[in-house]
């Protein structure tokens, strides 16, 4: 059984169709890159999967459960098993690194423990171990507004990992970073998939990065899935089909 099964997913904003009848499956342990021009539906797709955006139609089955049918505490429990990494980090900058990472446990807390940030020793030890793994052991008590972009994104990865997720969704995780920091982030994401077996779905603009790191690529154009296949089968013709007029510049790069 697929870990993630998206069936005829559609999302409309008035007259604008952000996603149109999208269907695909992702198995446990895959590293899948999602590519396409701005406005092609990549971010909408990611946010529909974890219900940050409500689909207009279709089904999203995650680990055997129909996500679009869930409400309240049950939705919160399932969403806790889906890690999310954001383009602009989505951190609380006045808080420390460890405080931001522990926020990844809020989905497992009741209302009172969540409001008062009540974490047990096991959760704190786990967070510290993850920070060491990501090379942030010396920055545990530093405020996040004192970090570089690459360090902030690693904090975002740590926050996702502390959830003990089955899958991690990454929405343009390297678009705000310099090439060196971007390579470090992608190397960590690949390491997490390889060593921990956590499924990765990563929105990317960079075709070369998608080809290098992912085993499979989903290509979108105007809300429609126009390519789904192994990264080494992404031909120039398919790139033109995905990107249109932008393709020539991307291929030349």
Residue 110 confidence (pLDDT): 61
Find the mean pLDDT for residues 22-42: 96
**113 pLDDT exceeds 60?**
no
118: pLDDT strictly greater than 80: no
* pLDDT per residue as tens digits for the range 177-202: 999 999 999 999 999 999 999 999 99
- Average pLDDT for the chain: 92
The domains of the chain are located at 1-81+167-253, 91-164
User: In the predicted model, what is the mean pLDDT of residues 107-114?
Assistant: 60
Structure-block tokens of residue 253: 């790069």
**What one-character DSSP code corresponds to residue 153?**
H
| CATH classification for the domain delimited by 1-81+167-253, as one of 3.20.20.70, 3.30.365.10, 3.40.50.720, 3.40.50.300 | 3.40.50.300
Residue 111 token pair? 């209302």
User: What pLDDT is stored for residue 114 in this prediction?
Assistant: 47
Structure tokens at 88: 């602009």
From first CA to last CA, the distance across the chain in angstroms is 39
Share of the chain above pLDDT 90, in %: 83
DSSP state of 6: E
Tens of pLDDT, residues 67-100? 999 998 889 889 999 999 999 999 999 999 999 9
> Can you tell me the mean pLDDT for 113-139?
85
Q: Categorise residue 39: left if φ over 0, alpha if ψ from -120 to 50, beta otherwise.
A: left
Q: Which residue has the tokens 């409500």?
A: 54
Q: What is the pLDDT of residue 108?
A: 77
pLDDT at 39 over 60: yes
Listed range (16-25, 30-39, 71-80, 139-148) with the worst mean pLDDT:
71-80
């Amino acid at each position: 059984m697929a870990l993630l099964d998206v069936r005829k997913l559609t999302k409309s904003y008035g007259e604008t169709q952000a996603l149109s009848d999208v269907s695909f499956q992702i198995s446990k342990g895959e590293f899948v890159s999602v590519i396409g021009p701005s406005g092609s539906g990549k971010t909408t797709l990611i946010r529909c999967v974890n219900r940050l955006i409500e689909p207009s139609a279709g089904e999203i089955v995650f680990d055997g459960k129909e996500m679009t049918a869930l409400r309240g505490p049950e939705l919160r429990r399932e969403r806790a098993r889906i890690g999310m990494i954001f383009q602009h980090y989505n951190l609380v900058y006045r808080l420390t690194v460890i405080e931001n990472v522990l926020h990844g446990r809020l989905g497992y807390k009741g209302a009172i423990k969540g409001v008062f940030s009540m974490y047990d020793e096991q959760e704190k030890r786990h967070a510290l171990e993850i920070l060491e793994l990501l090379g942030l052991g010396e920055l545990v008590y530093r405020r996040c507004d004192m970090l570089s972009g690459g360090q902030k994104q690693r904090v975002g990865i740590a926050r996702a990992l502390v959830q003990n997720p089955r899958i991690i969704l990454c929405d343009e995780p390297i678009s705000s970073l310099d090439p060196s920091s971007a390579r470090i982030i992608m190397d960590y994401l690949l390491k997490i998939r390889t060593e921990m077996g956590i499924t990765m779905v990563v929105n990317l603009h960079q075709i070369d990065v998608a080809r290098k790191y992912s085993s499979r690529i989903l290509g979108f154009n105007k809300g429609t899935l126009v390519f789904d296949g192994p990264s080494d089968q992404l031909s120039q013709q398919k790139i033109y089909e995905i990107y249109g007029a932008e393709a020539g510049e991307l291929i030349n790069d």
